[in-house]
Structure 1
Amino acid sequence: MSKSIEVNDLNVYYGDFLAVEGVNMRIEPRTVTAFIGPSGCGKSTFLRTLNRMHEVIPGARVAGEVLLDGDDLYGPGVDPVAVRRQVGMVFQRPNPFPTMSIKENVLAGVRLNNKRISKSDASDLVESSLRGANLWNEVKDRLDKPGGGLSGGQQQRLCIARAIAVSPQVLLMDEPCSALDPISTYAIEELIGELKSEYTIVIVTHNMQQASRVSERTAFFNIDGPGTPGRLIEFNDTGALFTTPTVQATEDYVSGRFG
């Protein structure tokens, strides 16, 4: 299921403002890649270009290529909705639909894509998705209860179950643990380690310890100052980037001198 992502000379704009400049990167399938860097350096903006969520903002656009196993996600005639089925997104704050049941939350993406699904297939999909998100045993006896009644960590895993129910090849996670307590954070990190056997995962995090725990490769983004575009400064194996960075700005950031 999982696919590679190749980014070539990508510039990201909000209207005339160049927000992220000249990104080149290859992300291998069945790996976890972490994006780190100070606030405002374009990490989340760049992440959203990988499933065309960026362009839901009026005036937002990109120039360059984002290739999913060689297919340009921004090519002529490519349906952004189809892209988002292949490249799922989990957001910073858990966002289950509060009035929907746990079961209906899992099925929401499938229903949104107008997929016809039998009652038995729906039940199987709910169970397999919740098992995939390590949530089944905690909620199997209350599938008809509102998703908003779960704890924060459970809600985030419910959102992950909803994302994987539509069978994506890539999972993007934008600071998925920033609103969670340490125990829930540990559960999400454990889950990421399990999911990478099936999915290509890209995670934005402000927690450098988290990046070192969960990812094989890490990308450091930075900005020269207010009003200047974010840039990819260094992209390397996580161990190497944290212990022997090749760029001084990377060393300054990971050692805590700024950010």
Structure 2
Amino acid sequence: MSKRIDVKDLDIYYGDFHAVKNVSMTIEPRSVTAFIGPSGCGKSTVLRTLNRMHEVIPGAYVKGEVAIDGTNLYGRGVDPVDVRRQVGMVFQRPNPFPTMTIKENVLAGVRLNSKRISSKAADELTEKALRGANLWNEVKDRLDKPGSGLSGGQQQRLCIARAIAIQPEVILMDEPCSALDPISTLAIEDLINELKDRYTVVIVTHNMQQAARVSDKTGFFNLEATGKPGELVEYDSTQNIFNNPGQQATEDYISGRFG
């Protein structure tokens, strides 16, 4: 399932504001890549370009290329809805649909894409997605209960199950543990390690220990000053970023000298 992502000479704009400049990187399939850096440096903005979510903001656009297995997501005639089907997204705060049951939440993305699905297929897909999110055993006896009744960590895994159900090839996670307690955070981190066997996973995190624990490669983003565009300072194996960074700015951030 998982795909390789090639980002080349990417510049991101919100109207006249140049948010991020000149990002180039290759994200390997079946791996976890972490984006780290201080607030406002553009890491979440870059993440949202990987499935064209940033275009939801009026006036937002990019220059450059984001390709998945050689196909430019910004090429002429490419449908953003198809891109978002291929590249799933999990947000910072768990956001199950409050009026839907657990099962309805899992199937929401499938039904939004107007896919007709039999009752038997819906049951099978629900179980498969919840198992993939390590949630099935906890909720299998209450699938008809509201998703909003789950704990915060369970809600986040329900959102991951919802993302898995549309059968993406890439999963993006924007600070998925920032609203969770340590035990729920550990459950999500364990799940991320399992997901990379099937998907390409990209995660934004402010928690450097988390980046060190879960990722294979890490990109450090920074910005020169307020109002200046963010940029990718260094992109390397996570081991090198944390133990032998090539840039002084990376070492300063990792060691807590700034940020």
- Quick check: TM above 0.5? yes
State how far apart, in whole Å, the 2-side matches of 1:229 and 1:100 are.
40
Deviation >2 Å, runs of 4+: none
Per the alignment, residue 191 of structure 1 pairs with 191
SS state at 1:172 partner: strand
Per the TM alignment, residue 83 of structure 1 is displaced from its structure 2 partner at its CA by: 0.1
Give, as a single letter, the amino acid of the residue that structure 1 aligns with 2:156. Answer: Q
Per the alignment, residue 173 of structure 1 pairs with 173
5+ residue gaps, structure 1, are none
Task: Give per-residue Cα distances to partners, 1:65-87, cap 9 Å, x unaligned.
Answer: 00000000000010000000000
Per the TM alignment, residue 192 of structure 1 is displaced from its structure 2 partner at its CA by: 0.3
Per the alignment, residue 104 of structure 1 pairs with 104
Per the alignment, residue 254 of structure 2 pairs with 254
Per the alignment, residue 114 of structure 1 pairs with 114
State how far apart, in whole Å, the 2-side matches of 1:169 and 1:146 are.
28
Task: Give per-residue Cα distances to partners, 1:199-249, cap 9 Å, x unaligned.
Answer: 000000000000000000000000011100000000000011101101000
Give, as a single letter, the amino acid of the residue that structure 2 aligns with 1:37. Answer: G
State how far apart, in whole Å, the 2-side matches of 1:91 and 1:156 are.
9
2:191 is equivalent to residue 207 of structure 1: no
Per the alignment, residue 160 of structure 1 pairs with 160
Per the alignment, residue 242 of structure 1 pairs with 242
State how far apart, in whole Å, the 2-side matches of 1:3 and 1:246 are.
28
**What TM-score, normalized to structure 1?**
1.00
Per the alignment, residue 34 of structure 1 pairs with 34
Q: How does 1:61-140 map to 2 (within 5 A)?
A: 61-140=61-140
State how far apart, in whole Å, the 2-side matches of 1:213 and 1:246 are.
20
Per the TM alignment, residue 173 of structure 1 is displaced from its structure 2 partner at its CA by: 0.2
Per the TM alignment, residue 132 of structure 1 is displaced from its structure 2 partner at its CA by: 0.2
Task: Give per-residue Cα distances to partners, 1:29-82, cap 9 Å, x unaligned.
Answer: 000000000000000001000000000000000000000000000000100000
SS state at 1:26 partner: strand
State how far apart, in whole Å, the 1-side matches of 2:193 and 2:227 are.
37
State how far apart, in whole Å, the 1-side matches of 2:184 and 2:191 are.
11
State how far apart, in whole Å, the 1-side matches of 2:125 and 2:43 are.
32
Per the TM alignment, residue 25 of structure 1 is displaced from its structure 2 partner at its CA by: 0.4
